[in-house]
């Protein structure tokens, strides 16, 4: 039994005739009717064929072919709508010229544009005469499928109520499409639209997959290069070779090369090559240019570049395509260049360029680290050679006073083995009291000023130790270096010199006193003397007084240095300073100066000899007054800081040059700028230094020419634990110290 399926044809067709009749009439135009079983079967088969594939190109080709077969059309075009730009683009077709592919048509234009905009089938009879027909295809096809068509019909391809594109059929053989044919097409287009939607979805998921694959590949390339850089350690050749091999493999390059800068950073030297001779006919110029502009240089089409004919031939013989040169930049310095060359016909995409940038970044860092390491190692070797050959005792300490380095002279002098000493606090390495105390003090006070002191060894050898802080570029204190020189012979000479001075001073004291007494007597009975004789007498008296003061200071210094009569007890430094200020305030006033005493209002105690400490403060304040011009200000400040009491004498005087500052505490040293009138014995500061050091303290000066000077004395404070009872303080009867 034959089954007849009857389907009503659609009536939603916009149909126009391009030119008014002229007697021509399309007999099939209005033809409608019911579909036969055979027709439905054909549609079913066509639909099955159309939806059988997920490949867009194939889907479109099948759709067009089946449509042409179904209604015996001359040709069929399939447009897809680009939602972003709103234009229709020819994506496929059957019996259309290849040149149509990719051509675009704005929405609303021509048959297809009209159908896409209205969402309804649109038929134009006598199309070639239609005034609104598009002319975009006129030049694309000399034979002229579309321009010569006598009937064009377009059916929108709708999926999920959205127009995906348009199916357009053409007749050029005089036939025209019937409404029934359009209805047939309308039955097939939903299947075509579904197949296209699925193919689009598939295409997108394919793209995502590809992207993921690429990302994965590039991630693997980057991590493989990272591993190579790390594994190469400080071997630059290995690092460069491995990086190139892995980059070539990961990016499927045809050739590649890595240049690294030479030691001066002046020239690029080839380090690694892949599939390139060392002397290519000019590709290295690209690397040189890349290094000089410090930017990536990309030549996607090498043969289009202004090479000579020979180079172009050379490139094509080796089947070399796009070239990219990427600079290796570390710490703002170009350390090399990586050149990557793709096979002929391939260009570099942005993903590959990004990968290359990451790889070169890693390599640059690796190269710069390796070079830094080599430099540091060379410097270390140099330093250790200097340390070993030096006769001076040298010990390097970290910020906690732990031994970092020491030379053989140090091992010998302080009797330790460096292998056991490294990492230990100095106090555990040597029992030398002076050295340990100085280091201990520097750590506690985080001393950033160098300190100089004597160190006596068990065998009566004397060393002069210079303990200098090590400060990093950020200003952080990272440790100290102690350099000690043998001054035993110097000390011996010093001792002999001072013995001689002592003897001479002693011997001179009596005759000078006698002369002074005689001159004093004379000056009291000077009535009969002429003015000239009186002047000569005054000058002689002044000279003898100077000699007397000098002898006094010299003997004094000797007594201090030999610690003769040094009596240490709890002294109130605030009271000593107060006494000095009270005594000298008049002198300051006479010089129209202001003498200010700035104390914290609490008593600050030190362990010391009150007479000697008085001498220290008095010398410093007298100097400040003496060297500061009238109307200046002298300020005496006392403060407690970190188990130390700090006395500062600050003036607004002429200041002291850096050269003079370095020598100012030497005996008899006077700054060249000081006026002759102001001269004292030149021993004041030497006495100050000697007394302060006998008390375990330090004295230094900070000054700049024209900006005044500040003398600082830092003394260990009286330990609270020993006594807090003020009655323990020795009552102070301070008198000027005289030589005995």
Residues in contact with ligand ADP by CB under 6 A are 623-624, 627, 651, 653-654, 656, 664, 669-671, 674, 679-686, 709
CB of 657 to ligand ADP, least distance (A): 10
Of 246 and 689, CB closest to ligand ADP: 689
Q: Where are the alpha helices (DSSP H) in 173-325?
A: 179-231, 236-250, 283-293, 309-317
Judged by beta carbon, residue 406 or residue 620, the one nearer ligand ADP is: 620
Nearer to ligand ADP by C-beta: 56 or 685?
Answer: 685
Closest CA to 229 of 336, 375, 327, 365: 365
As a 3-state breakdown, the chain gives helix, strand, coil percent values, each rounded to 5, of: 45, 25, 30
Cα–Cα dist 378/670, whole Å:
45
Smallest gap from residue 721 Cβ to ligand ADP (A): 36
Shortest distance, position 720 Cβ to ligand ADP, whole Å: 33
Beta-carbon contacts of residue 309 (< 8 Å; ≥ 6 apart)? none
Beta strands in 449-558 (DSSP E): 451-456, 462-471, 477-486
Minimum Å gap between C-beta 328 and ligand ADP is 57
Closest CA to 636 of 586, 576, 581, 689: 581
Pairing of strands 594-599, 633-641: parallel
CA separation for the pair 191, 79 (Å, rounded): 16
User: Of 130, 122, 166, 132, whose CA–CA distance to 148 is shortest?
Assistant: 130
Q: Min. distance of Cβ 438 from ligand ADP in angstroms?
A: 24
Nearest-approach distance from CB 559 to ligand ADP, in angstroms:
17
Rank residues 352 and 651 by Cβ distance to ligand ADP and give the closer one.
Answer: 651
Q: Give min distance, CB of 374 to ligand ADP, in A.
A: 49
CA dist 108 and 132 (Å) reads 11
User: Does residue 585 contact residue 595 with C-beta atoms inside 8 Å?
Assistant: yes
Shortest separation between residue 329's beta carbon and ligand ADP, angstroms = 53
Give the separation between CA 426 and CA 440, rounded to whole angstroms: 9
Q: Compute the distance between CA of residue 623 and CA of residue 625 in angstroms, rounded to an integer.
A: 5
Of 336 and 654, nearer to ligand ADP (C-beta) is 654
Residues 6+ apart with CB under 8 A from 551: 505, 508, 509, 512, 739
447 vs 441, 451, 479, CA distance in Å?
8, 9, 10
Tally: H helices and E strands in the chain: 18, 24
**DSSP one-letter code for 700:** E
- Rounded CA-CA distance 434/456 in Å is 8
Exposure string of 618-641, with b = 16+ CB inside 10 Å and e = fewer, is: bbbbbbbbbbbeeebbbbbbbeee
Nearer to ligand ADP, 575 or 651 (CB): 651
CA distances in angstroms from 34 to 8, 9, 175, listed in the order given? 6, 7, 21
Q: What minimum distance in Å lies between the beta carbon of 585 and ligand ADP?
A: 17
In the complex with ligand ADP, the residue whose CB is nearer, 118 or 702, is 702
Of the pair 182, 625, the CB lying nearest ligand ADP is at: 625
| Residue 545: CB minimum distance to ligand ADP, A | 14
Q: How far is the CB of 653 from ligand ADP (least distance, A)?
A: 4
Considering the complex, state which of residue 247 and residue 681 has its C-beta at the smaller distance from ligand ADP: 681
CA separation for the pair 156, 117 (Å, rounded)? 9
CB 481 within 8 A of CB 395: yes
Q: How many Å apart are CA 340 and CA 357, to the nearest integer? A: 11
Closest approach of ligand ADP to the CB of residue 661, in Å: 9
Between residues 427 and 674, which has the closer beta carbon with respect to ligand ADP? 674
Residue 394 pairs with which residues in a beta bridge? 483
CB of residue 699 to ligand ADP, shortest distance in Å: 12
Considering beta carbons, is residue 447 or 681 the nearer one to ligand ADP? 681
| Angle in degrees, CA 30, 16, 129, rounded to 5 | 120
User: Which residue, 425 or 680, is less far from ligand ADP as judged by CB?
Assistant: 680
Nearer residue to ligand ADP within complex by CB, 124 or 686: 686
Measured in Å, how far apart are the chain's first and last C-alpha atoms? Answer: 153
Q: Which is nearer to ligand ADP, 464 or 669 (CB)?
A: 669
The secondary structure of 76-145 as a DSSP string is EEEEEEETTTTEEEEEEEES--GGGTT-EEETTSHHHHHHHHHSSEEEEETGGG-TT---TTTTT-SS-S
């Amino acid at each position: 039994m034959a089954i007849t399926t009857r389907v009503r044809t659609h009536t939603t067709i916009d149909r126009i005739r391009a030119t008014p009749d002229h007697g021509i009439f399309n007999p099939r135009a209005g033809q409608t009717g019911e579909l036969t079983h055979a027709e439905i079967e054909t549609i079913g088969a066509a639909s099955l064929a159309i939806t059988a594939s997920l490949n867009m190109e194939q889907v479109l080709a099948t759709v067009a072919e089946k449509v042409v077969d179904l209604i015996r059309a001359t040709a069929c075009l399939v447009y897809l709508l680009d939602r972003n730009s709103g234009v229709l683009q020819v994506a496929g077709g059957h019996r259309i010229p290849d040149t149509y592919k990719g051509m675009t048509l704005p929405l609303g234009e021509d048959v297809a544009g009209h159908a896409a905009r209205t969402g309804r089938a649109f038929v134009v009879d006598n199309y070639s005469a239609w005034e609104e027909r598009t002319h975009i295809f006129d030049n694309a096809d000399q034979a002229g499928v579309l321009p010569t068509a006598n009937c064009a019909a377009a059916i929108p391809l709708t999926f999920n109520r959205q127009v995906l594109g348009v199916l357009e059929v053409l007749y050029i053989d005089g036939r025209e499409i019937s409404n029934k044919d359009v209805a047939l097409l309308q039955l097939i287009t939903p299947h075509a639209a579904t197949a296209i939607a699925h193919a689009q979805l598939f295409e997108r998921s394919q793209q995502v997959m590809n992207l993921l694959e690429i990302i994965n590949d590039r991630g693997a390339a980057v991590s493989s290069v990272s591993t190579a850089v790390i594994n190469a350690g400080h071997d630059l050749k290995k690092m460069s070779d491995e990086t190139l091999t892995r980059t070539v493999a990961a990016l499927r390059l045809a050739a590649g090369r890595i240049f690294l800068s030479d030691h001066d950073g002046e020239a690029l030297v080839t380090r690694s090559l892949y599939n390139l001779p060392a002397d290519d006919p000019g590709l290295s110029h690209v690397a040189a240019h890349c290094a000089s502009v410090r930017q990536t240089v990309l030549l996607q089409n090498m043969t289009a570049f202004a090479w000579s004919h020979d180079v172009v031939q050379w490139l094509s013989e080796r089947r070399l395509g796009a070239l990219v040169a990427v600079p290796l930049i570390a710490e703002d310095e170009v350390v090399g260049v990586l050149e990557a060359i793709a096979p002929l016909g391939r260009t570099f995409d942005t993903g590959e360029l990004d990968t290359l940038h990451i790889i070169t970044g890693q390599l640059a860092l690796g190269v710069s680290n390796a070079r830094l390491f080599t430099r540091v190692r060379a410097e270390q070797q140099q330093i250790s050679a200097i340390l070993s050959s030096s006769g001076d005792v040298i010990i390097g300490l970290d910020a906690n006073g732990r031994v970092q380095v020491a030379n053989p002279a140090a091992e010998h002098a302080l009797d330790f083995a460096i292998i056991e000493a490294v990492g230990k606090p100095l106090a555990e390495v040597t029992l030398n009291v002076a050295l340990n105390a100085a280091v201990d003090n520097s750590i506690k006070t985080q001393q950033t000023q160098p300190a100089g002191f004597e160190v006596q060894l068990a065998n009566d050898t004397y060393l002069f130790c210079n303990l200098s802080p090590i400060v990093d570029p950020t200003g952080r204190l990272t440790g100290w270096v102690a350099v000690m020189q043998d001054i035993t012979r110097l000390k011996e000479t010093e001792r002999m010199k001072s013995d001689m001075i002592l003897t001479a001073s002693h011997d001179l004291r009596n005759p000078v006193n006698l002369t002074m007494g005689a001159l004093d007597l004379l000056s009291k009975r000077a009535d009969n003397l002429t003015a000239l004789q009186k002047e000569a007498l005054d000058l002689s008296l002044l000279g003898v007084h100077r000699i007397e003061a000098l002898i006094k200071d010299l003997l004094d210094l000797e007594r201090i240095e030999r610690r003769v009569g040094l009596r240490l007890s709890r002294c109130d430094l605030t009271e000593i300073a107060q006494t000095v200020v009270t005594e000298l305030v008049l002198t300051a006033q006479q010089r129209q100066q202001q003498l200010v005493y700035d104390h914290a209002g609490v008593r600050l105690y030190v362990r010391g000899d009150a007479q000697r400490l008085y001498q220290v403060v008095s010398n410093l304040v007298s100097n400040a007054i003496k060297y500061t011009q009238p109307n200046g200000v002298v300020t005496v400040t006392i403060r407690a800081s970190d188990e130390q009491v700090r006395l500062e004498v600050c003036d607004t005087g002429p200041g002291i040059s850096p050269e003079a500052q370095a020598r100012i505490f030497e005996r008899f040293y006077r700054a060249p700028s000081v006026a002759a009138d102001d001269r004292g014995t030149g021993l004041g500061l030497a006495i100050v230094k000697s007394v302060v050091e006998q008390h375990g303290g330090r004295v230094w000066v900070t000054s700049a020419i024209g900006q005044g000077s500040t003398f600082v004395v830092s003394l260990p404070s009286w330990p609270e634990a020993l006594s807090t009872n003020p009655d323990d303080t020795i009552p102070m009867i301070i008198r000027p110290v005289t030589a005995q």
